[in-house]
Structure 1
């Protein structure tokens, strides 16, 4: 989209308030500070505030302590739970969770409740950017009326944009600075201000014609992944029944230089995007009388994968004349993907729940998650166990769920009685390795 810049693009943005200092908000805040922009970070978690300001450390694995320390000591990063300080900044960025409720419907509580807290402190000339993944129409239907009710005119004395986050935790090839940024504005003037906001820190800003376009762009990106993950997980089940190694098939297909992109099967789907975002569109599409069959089918396939894996564990134990009930099962890797400490919507947790329901004694090992974290729906009073010859020998089965590079897979292979591998780590055939 080509923009004809007006006087709005000349408005200075010298300070940014970032609400929500998690996997999206914290790297965004640090990137602004590194570009010499003053940042006030807002969070309701006192532990996060104390960790950043007092200890000058990071609570996210892929963000270094040194980076946090440098930002704090630079004097441009402040962190607070006092939302009245929204009045001190030129721009406000919302980096808040948008989960689903029990009926797979959008839950915007974090966004709407935060808006109610900060609305009294808005001032003329500010820009508000929503980065949370949501359904098309959220910015215009939910946020815009709240701002206008405060007496502002969007596009004249207050600016509203939507710019979806595209963070990929643990991916060393892409950073906040290098990942292209989609920006949609409520008006042309809003778009200009939004581009100005992000051009300070992002190498390539991609303007689109509306906030709805930007909202749907993010959903398409993640639905594309969800559908293809569902496809390859279904292919895994078919290949397993046929006695064919799906990993060999994928590697062979990947040699085609066009028309194919490799996706890899696993024990399910996880993270803050893939298991959640597609259903935001499913819910909204019903308003238009549309059933999103591809999305719902991929959801069915991916959601049932943990049950399929557990049946593979049961069959593997049966072959060794061992029952799952009373068996010691070690789940290897708690995070939702390799080399991160993020456990949100992790299939490993669902595997642990299913194992516990069937009477197994459940343990886990994850070098990045030392203690089972506080979660809204799941609880295990467990700490990560150290992988030693003795601890592995005590296990009836090691269920490889997350393939962290940190694990010594040769050592695990040598000292385990039975391994169920959901990630294709062990190539070739081993008598005590079952691929799932």
Structure 2
């Protein structure tokens, strides 16, 4: 009696074929979006041995990157240089390259508009990818978003030309985990979370990231991976809010906030150090938790109360910081109106040239509205035109510092000689305790 023929699973065959190509370095990769997320993963894929094409709508950015100029803030320069030197990293504005790709990553912005997620970039990228996609391709979404986006928003766009995700198309989600300016945690050293539409999708995506990073952590679904990303940054938002409110309490009671934090941090378990500041900024911490609170209200009708409260506390920190600066001036008999204030550092974090959601600029906006005469220096920023503040960078000199009624250290870049600046200043307001000199008569710390 003849043996029955073994039925094969087309999706399993696609996954095995793709994994073999990835392991043999014959897979071609396209990365849609060449911001700091897309360019970083494109460079990592090229460095790992895969032919990689970065796709972006910005023709000037594409031209610069194609000539070997690293023009994207937040991308590790060494990673880009190494990848470009391989000759495997190219750039284009034409999404049709997706048709020749085995792996397609979507790394596009997902901002908030009126506190609601704006998925227009994902929708546009999904439509473009769906137009050119070939059967057997693995598509991975990396953009931060709420749970369900990969399956409910991206999947229909990819399937609009007759393909079926999970059958003749592999689909997964893997949240980016890049910390711009953090040289201690390079791209390869940060584990990757991966969740696919099916187990075969997850296996293929895990194989791809396994070539780029040391550790891959698979989860059961796209939704689990999407929510893991939101949890990471919501955790940070909540704990930053805790120490920001603690700083206000300590100021009211005459207690040294930083002494309290230093003491608590000596505990070897059950405590992780977070530090207060003028507010949160960047694309992740201010925005990612808002996806969570928005979805909770939309899908369950319940507010995510702890997260919403934490956001409110952090949102108040720029105005609180500005009031603390005003109080410091008042104690020296200087009115904020007409005072000459020099701000040092206006990016959202040290040693990164990114002003998105920068709390430092919001602090300046409050001071400007009260009549202060502002100037600023930042090694990464040549001009400001946000929140009603329009300024051009000044050259940082001893005369500029001495001429100011107060120097406001908002973002302590490594290039600043803080001892020298403190010596020149009649009053230095240190919003980050970067000087560590809280007992100095001419230094005040948030």
Query: Quick check: TM above 0.5?
Result: yes
The answer to whether structure 1 residue 428 and structure 2 residue 435 are counterparts is no
Q: Residues 295 and 66 (structure 1 numbering): CA distance in 2 closer, same or farther, change over 3 Å? A: closer
Whether the aligned pair in 1 keeps the contact of 2:127 and 2:158 (CA below 8 Å) is: no
**Secondary structure of the corresponding residue to residue 177 of structure 1:** helix
Tell me what 1:238 maps to.
249
Tell me what 2:149 maps to.
138
Tell me what 2:428 maps to.
419
Tell me what 1:44 maps to.
57
The answer to whether structure 1 residue 169 and structure 2 residue 176 are counterparts is no
- For residues 37-95 of structure 1, give each alpha carbon's deviation from its aligned partner in whole angstroms, at most 9, with x where no partner exists: 011001112222122112x1212456465653443342211101111221121111111
- For residues 130-170 of structure 1, give each alpha carbon's deviation from its aligned partner in whole angstroms, at most 9, with x where no partner exists: 11111111111111122222211111111110000000111
CA distance in structure 2 between the aligned counterparts of 1:403 and 1:332, rounded to whole angstroms: 7
Tell me what 1:195 maps to.
206
- For residues 235-255 of structure 1, give each alpha carbon's deviation from its aligned partner in whole angstroms, at most 9, with x where no partner exists: 000011111111111111111
CA distance in structure 2 between the aligned counterparts of 1:379 and 1:83, rounded to whole angstroms: 37
Whether the aligned pair in 1 keeps the contact of 2:129 and 2:158 (CA below 8 Å) is: no
The runs of 5 or more residues in structure 1 that have no matched partner are none
CA distance in structure 2 between the aligned counterparts of 1:373 and 1:190, rounded to whole angstroms: 45
CA distance in structure 2 between the aligned counterparts of 1:64 and 1:44, rounded to whole angstroms: 22
Tell me what 2:396 maps to.
387
Whether the aligned pair in 2 keeps the contact of 1:325 and 1:360 (CA below 8 Å) is: yes
**Pairing of 1:396-411 with structure 2 (within 5 A):** 396-411=405-420
Tell me what 1:347 maps to.
359
**Secondary structure of the corresponding residue to residue 382 of structure 1:** strand
CA distance in structure 1 between the aligned counterparts of 2:211 and 2:83, rounded to whole angstroms: 16
Whether the aligned pair in 1 keeps the contact of 2:174 and 2:192 (CA below 8 Å) is: yes
Tell me what 2:38 maps to.
25
Whether the aligned pair in 1 keeps the contact of 2:384 and 2:391 (CA below 8 Å) is: no
**1:262 CA drift (Å):** 0.5
Equivalent of 1:59, from 65, 71, 85?
71
How many residue pairs match? The answer is: 427
Whether the aligned pair in 2 keeps the contact of 1:58 and 1:64 (CA below 8 Å) is: no
Deviates most, 382-391 or 261-270: 382-391
Whether the aligned pair in 2 keeps the contact of 1:154 and 1:187 (CA below 8 Å) is: no
CA distance in structure 2 between the aligned counterparts of 1:64 and 1:263, rounded to whole angstroms: 25
Tell me what 2:350 maps to.
338
Tell me what 2:8 maps to.
none
The runs of 5 or more residues in structure 2 that have no matched partner are 1-10
**1:330 CA drift (Å):** 1.6
Larger Rg: 2
Scaled by the length of structure 1, what TM-score is found? 0.94
Whether the aligned pair in 2 keeps the contact of 1:155 and 1:190 (CA below 8 Å) is: yes
Root-mean-square deviation (Å): 1.8
The answer to whether structure 1 residue 211 and structure 2 residue 222 are counterparts is yes
Deviates most, 193-202 or 155-164: 193-202
Whether the aligned pair in 1 keeps the contact of 2:422 and 2:428 (CA below 8 Å) is: yes
Scaled by the length of structure 2, what TM-score is found? 0.92
**1:209 CA drift (Å):** 0.2
Equivalent of 2:312, from 297, 300, 320?
300
CA distance in structure 1 between the aligned counterparts of 2:322 and 2:163, rounded to whole angstroms: 55
CA distance in structure 2 between the aligned counterparts of 1:141 and 1:329, rounded to whole angstroms: 50
Deviates most, 114-123 or 264-273: 114-123
Tell me what 2:336 maps to.
324
Tell me what 1:372 maps to.
383
CA distance in structure 2 between the aligned counterparts of 1:289 and 1:62, rounded to whole angstroms: 37
